[in-house]
Amino acid sequence: MTKAQAAKIERLTRKNDPDATKENILKIATEEFVAAGFSGARVDEIAERTKTSKRMIYYYFGSKEGLYLAVLEQAYTKIRTLESELDLQNMPPVQAMAQLIESTFDHDDQNPDFVRLVSIENIHRAEHMKRSVVLSQMNIAVIDIITEILARGYADGSFSRRVDPVDLHMMISAQCFFRVSNRHTFGAIFERDLSSDELKNRHKALIVDTILAFLKTPSSEIT
């Protein structure tokens, strides 16, 4: 088969399977935004790598910002979907909270591109994210999950400390996120490989134990 024939087949495949085309664009766009940031990424490069065109990309996503938001929405959809599939409502509160923390830890560890994208959007002060109705609605789900676990934990006496669900979400996210976002600088300073299985397992247990101990300790007992 000649290159021209292969290119023709690929064009016909894209035409007949727009969902696959969009998915491939999102995959390559994620790699480009992660590598170069929003400002540095080039739609021309994404078009070349996906063997499409800027016109096609803009047809599907409207603009470079639209493509970037679609990448962010896909990244957040992945973690929110993961959380919703954990069946936490059928676990005792302590087990459910531990499972949620471990799931967050594993997701961030296995998806450094997600961590990078969030860091990039923070550089832009979330100016793009604020324009996404999808993201604002989607991320309410994790707060509902935490609220439900806390309520059951207070009801059966598993948890003593009253805490705002958003604050708790921030605590969980911060501890899981930091070791991925700062693994290179932290590793260079302290000569530790944060990607090693030994450290990952130790850090996961440390984070779970820390947050559960916090929730089980009445406010007056910590000074």
| CA 129 – CA 142 distance, rounded (Å) | 17
Mean pLDDT of 116-131: 94
pLDDT reading at 223 higher than 80:
no
Look up residue 165 and give its two tokens: 């669900």
pTM: 0.87
Q: Where is pLDDT greater, at 222 or 161?
A: 161
Return the pLDDT at 220: 65
| CA 190 – CA 202 distance, rounded (Å) | 16
| Mean pLDDT score across all residues of the chain | 91
Look up residue 106 and give its two tokens: 């594993």
The answer to whether the beta carbons of residues 129 and 121 sit under 8 Å apart is yes
Q: Is 158 left (phi over 0), alpha (psi -120 to 50) or beta?
A: alpha
Domains observed in the chain: 7-62 (1.10.10.60), 71-216 (1.10.357.10)
Look up residue 171 and give its two tokens: 């605590």
- pLDDT tens profile 54-85: 999 999 999 999 999 999 999 999 999 999 99
Report CA dihedral (117, 119, 125, 126) to the nearest 10 degrees: 30
Return the pLDDT at 3: 53
Give the amino acid at 128. H
- pLDDT tens profile 6-22: 454 455 455 567 889 99
Maximum distance among all Cα pairs of the chain, rounded to whole angstroms: 76
51-to-7, 10, 22, 45, 75 alpha-carbon distances in Å: 9, 9, 12, 10, 23
